[in-house]
Structure 1
Amino acid sequence: MSKIRATCPVFRVLIIGRANAGKTTILQKVCNVDKDTEPVVPGSYTLFQVSLSNRWRQRGRHDITNQITYPDSRFIFHDSRGIEAGSVDEFQIIHKFIRERASKTSLAEHLHAIWFCVSMDNTRPLVEAELAFFNEDTADVPVVVVFTKYDALLDRVANDLDIIDMTEQSQVDVDKEAEARYQERYHGRIMRTANPPKAVVRLQEMDKVETQCPELSEQTAVAIDDLSLRQLFVSVQQNNIYLCMQEAARQVHVLSYICYFVCS
């Protein structure tokens, strides 16, 4: 671990998603900071001015190469606008960025993971332009699809079923119908693409302070095949202490097995 930290002290993630997909909230949760914490610029550690940042967004300016991090975090994030219907240019920008990062000689400059966020608070299913992302390879960078706002799907199903007072049985009915829609309109369609994601996560109630999305960290670790990079990610993430314990226990188990094999 000390060796890879020396050559690669940061873990780099590209996060993709339409507007209001919950990307900022995810980054804050993973970095274990509150919603009022401003991102910093790596190197200079100069705080972004919120007013300037807001004006920039309002004008629609965007650059996927911009690096985003938070105080005391060893994550570096790159933010991409969502692949909207017909957004061929954005699609090309994203894949060009992925290829360029894959060609870097320095591991620290490589892209280590991609989080593809899909909000479920919209009545539209996945658009074809989003699915098209999974028909091209990502230069061996593991992709985790993050279905955000799953609770919005549950609310929509309850409304469609005309449920006013939620009972134990009606909750079962809502959960069953929501699962069916999720599998048919979201998960199933993505998993049938040419290059499906390495892992999938569903998030809900992310507006609550106590919700820390530990499952995202867990599934990202699962998606990373490279042992050293997985260990780096586990050490960098700050929202899943059990993941750190599991990785430590796994390493102890491996070392015990090696010692037993050598001494036998």
Structure 2
Amino acid sequence: MTDQFTTLHRLLDGHSVDSERLRTVYGFGGLHGGILSAMLLGRMRRAVDASFRPVELTTQFIAPTREMPSVHVSVLRRGRRNAQVTATATAPDGSIVATADAVFTACADAPITHRLSPGPPSGVTPIESASPIVIDPQFMPLATAFEIRPATSTLPYTGGEDAELCAWIRLTGPAPEPQSRLLILADALAPSYAATLTVLAPIPTVRMAVHFAPTTQSIDDEWVLLRARTPHADDDGWLSESLDLWTPDGVHLASSTQLRIVRPTAPVA
């Protein structure tokens, strides 16, 4: 296991790492948002019955963090069928960097007679025919932990008409438990709105909600197909993004919504 994946697994197991190791799992400007969400989920899981599975996690990203945060967990409701838990990540200086809310449920039959889930897009390039793209790790250190292969011809920052991206994606090292893996992968692709741009612009996530399908528990396929779309973008920079993830054979794993903001680029001196 590489130092990067050792660090990743230590964080998800609830251990601290030093600042040098933490830098290996930076996204853009700080600790990767998907990893921070997975850290919070891991801490919340330990506060509920081990047989419960997470249904949904919502993370509010307050500020980027370049230091190891501490995590405080509070159980709001602990029932026989459901549990609701909150978590707060705090930087060493006492400032809050993220909060999260999670709903957990017992694995039990429910009165659902017709299961509904989004189907995968048609006409995508098969994994074996898709070419990988390389992201400079100096730009995003965690990029070396992913293999990304675009599944359509649309790429970020190509000035397209549609704010949509679709790609095959996987981790290049040992995967964590299923929900943590999906949280990390759901935040690994460039923002779909970037497909309409021609100039690099920061588009950070302010809120990320991920709803996990029950099948997530038993699926361990290496690759996932991720489709991201931006159906709503305001002229003040705020946009809503929706994402779905599937196995290679079309089993739906999770849906996510992200609230993002397009930041102005810094003027060139």
| Band of TM-score, shorter chain | under 0.3
Relative contact order, higher structure (CA 8 A, sep 6+):
1
- Larger helix share, 1 or 2: 1
TM-score of the aligned structures, taking structure 2 as reference length: 0.24
- The structure with the larger Rg is 1
Q: Which has the higher strand share?
A: 2
Q: TM-score, normalised by structure 1?
A: 0.24
